[in-house]
Amino acid sequence: MDKNQFDALGKELSGNITKQGDSGYQQLRTGWNSFFDKYPAAIAQCKNSDDVARCFRFVKEYELEFSVRSGGHDYAGKSICEGGLVIDLSGMNSIEIDSAEKTAIVGPGVRWGAFDEAAQGHGLATTGATVSTVGVAGYTLGGGTGYLARKHGLALDNLLSARIITATGESILTSEYHYEDLFWAIRGGSGNFGIVTSFEFSLHEVGPEITAGQVVFPFDQAGDVLRFYRGFMQDAPEEIACYAFFLNAPPIDAFPESYHGKPVLSLVMAHIGDSETAQTELAPLLNFGDPIMNVVQPMPYTAAQTMFDEGMTSGNRWYSKAHYLDEISDVAIDTMLQHTKKLPGAFSVAYFEPLGGAINRVEPELTAFPHRDSAYTLHIFAGWADTETDEEPMNWAKEFHIAMSPHASGGVYVNLMGQDEENRVPDAYGSNFDRLKEIKKEWDPDNLFSHNHNIEPT
Ligand SMILES: Cc1cc2nc3c(=O)[nH]c(=O)nc-3n(C[C@H](O)[C@H](O)[C@H](O)COP(=O)(O)OP(=O)(O)OC[C@H]3O[C@@H](n4cnc5c(N)ncnc54)[C@H](O)[C@@H]3O)c2cc1C
């Protein structure tokens, strides 16, 4: 592709085009995960939906490879393409809150930190990611779990409408009342059906203070803690989300020095009810065992939403594997302990995220997201610095994942799929896969939107 053609495109956009060799290119071509080292021919930083539509006509006309990037946090590196055009929506970050109707209309470049701040200005929130830099767009289109999900459903369960540029280049508004098959498909089908240029969400009264924090246990108590945790979560109120999180204790003052760099088990929790109820309902978690750290306290909801931020900064290398589990058996706990007693890679973690509640109350066929009955997600997430070798942490994640397979209920959450898991796309959609392929055939028969966990047309 001739650089002049990109320059000509740039002249028609409100936003900028940055080509290979231009200043700023290096920074723009990278995403959150430095594992992916791709060189797109150019990056178009769109300012509005006309820019997006123009870029899309351009890639169609020249049959150019392209990817769509919003928050840039994709675990599989799909939002950056090699040699083509990255249609970057991160500058489309408008947020409109209607506090009377309890709704929000946001651009695709909005990240959860900004969304939460704006909605909390009205005492409102919707289910959002537990790290504030994650993009609203990719997260919602794949599912969207977080502290509010057990009470208020997945992010996509709170999606009221979305404006989308389809394969014909048309911009249409989809909802339960307009183009409902497309609206069904984008709630879980991720980027397969078009480019979403705005999202409308329902909001709920949350906070402004909730009770949140973590209780951290030495590794030698981890087995007992997990057995207690699974019992507690079985009947836990929906206001509680508690993650059982293995990590290497970071070398910071908050952790006793003798544990620095050693694996520990942290129960990371949030209770979105009032503080008195939270104290009562969290008491069993707060009083269990002999922790090395206990920092659970009332805090702004926006602060709880950034608790993980420090451990998940951009610029490191990451590799993701995941399962769903119906239950955590004794054998599953033993297997977990075997593989977490050493976490190769300074940032590697493995954790159970509880599901249930409002997530389970939605019928699996009501949206494209089918995994409504699982009790937990298990995320095995190897993370290491650029200076470390890839082999050890990646092999650890692969072997751990295989070892946990007998305890898994099948299926995988599309937003947690890594870069080498294309064969798992049917598992990600389970009983909804055939319908998704039919809808793909109708709306994108030539599979133009393929830089994603791809659903091929029937
Ligand atoms: C640090 C971290 C924390 C996370 N925490 C959570 C969590 O708490 N809960 C959870 O459920 N997930 C979580 N995730 C996973 C997250 O949901 C996915 O990585 C998601 O894809 C990120 O969305 P994004 O917009 O930032 O990504 P991007 O990389 O911009 O996009 C990912 C993919 O989504 C599609 N896409 C993006 N924007 C659009 C659009 N506007 N129109 C059409 N398709 C689009 C494209 O196919 C793209 O390749 C986390 C990820 C990270 C890295």
| CATH assignment of the domain containing 49 | 3.30.43.10
Query: What's residue 52's pLDDT?
Result: 98
- CA 71 to ligand 1: nearest atom: 26
Number of other residues whose CB lies within 10 A of the CB of residue 178:
11
- CA 79 to ligand 1: nearest atom: 49
Per DSSP, what are the bridge partners of residue 205? Answer: 124
Kindly report, residue by residue over 43-56, the tens digit of the pLDDT: 999 999 999 999 99
**pLDDT band, residue 253 (cuts 50/70/90):** confident
**pLDDT band, residue 147 (cuts 50/70/90):** very high
- CA 194 to ligand 1: nearest atom: 43
Query: What's residue 387's pLDDT?
Result: 82
pTM of the model: 0.97
**pLDDT band, residue 3 (cuts 50/70/90):** confident
- Residue 145 counted as domain residue: yes
d(CA 125, CA 406): 37
Q: Which residues neighbour 28 within 8 Å (Cβ) at sequence distance 6 or greater? A: 18, 43, 45, 86, 88
- Residue 216 shares a structural domain with residue 192: no
Assign residue 109 the CATH number of its domain: 3.30.465.10
134 lines ligand 1 (CB under 6 A): yes
- Domain range enclosing 129: 95-206
- Residue 429 counted as domain residue: no
Query: What's residue 299's pLDDT?
Result: 98
Token look-up 């204790």 returns 249
Identify the domain boundary among 62, 88, 114: 88
* Number of domains composing the chain: 3
Q: Please provide residue 5's backbone torsions phi and psi, each rounded to the nearest 5 degrees.
A: -65, -35
Using the predicted structure, report yes or no on whether residue 288 has a pLDDT greater than 90: yes
- Residue 157 shares a structural domain with residue 281: no
349 lines ligand 1 (CB under 6 A): no
pLDDT, average across residues 274-280: 97
452 lines ligand 1 (CB under 6 A): yes
Identify the domain boundary among 44, 65, 88: 88
- Residue 289 shares a structural domain with residue 406: yes
- Residue 202 shares a structural domain with residue 217: no
Kindly report, residue by residue over 112-133, the tens digit of the pLDDT: 999 999 999 999 999 999 999 9
- Residue 426 counted as domain residue: no
110 lines ligand 1 (CB under 6 A): no
- Residue 257 shares a structural domain with residue 348: yes
146 lines ligand 1 (CB under 6 A): yes
Mean pLDDT of all residues belonging to the chain: 97
- Residue 82 shares a structural domain with residue 115: no
- Residue 236 shares a structural domain with residue 271: yes
- Residue 11 counted as domain residue: yes
Task: With H, G, I as helix, E, B as strand and everything else as coil, classify residue 423.
Answer: helix
317 lines ligand 1 (CB under 6 A): no
**pLDDT band, residue 97 (cuts 50/70/90):** very high
- Residue 63 shares a structural domain with residue 101: no
- Residue 44 shares a structural domain with residue 139: no
- Residue 189 shares a structural domain with residue 241: no
- Residue 411 shares a structural domain with residue 264: yes
Query: What's residue 254's pLDDT?
Result: 85
130 lines ligand 1 (CB under 6 A): yes
Q: Please provide residue 430's backbone torsions phi and psi, each rounded to the nearest 5 degrees.
A: 45, -125
Instruction: State the distance from the centre of ligand 1 to the C-alpha of 165, rounded, in angstroms.
Output: 18
Identify the domain boundary among 88, 110, 134: 88
Assign residue 245 the CATH number of its domain: 3.40.462.20
Using the predicted structure, report yes or no on whether residue 210 has a pLDDT greater than 90: yes
- Residue 179 shares a structural domain with residue 222: no
Task: With H, G, I as helix, E, B as strand and everything else as coil, classify residue 321.
Answer: strand
Query: What's residue 114's pLDDT?
Result: 98
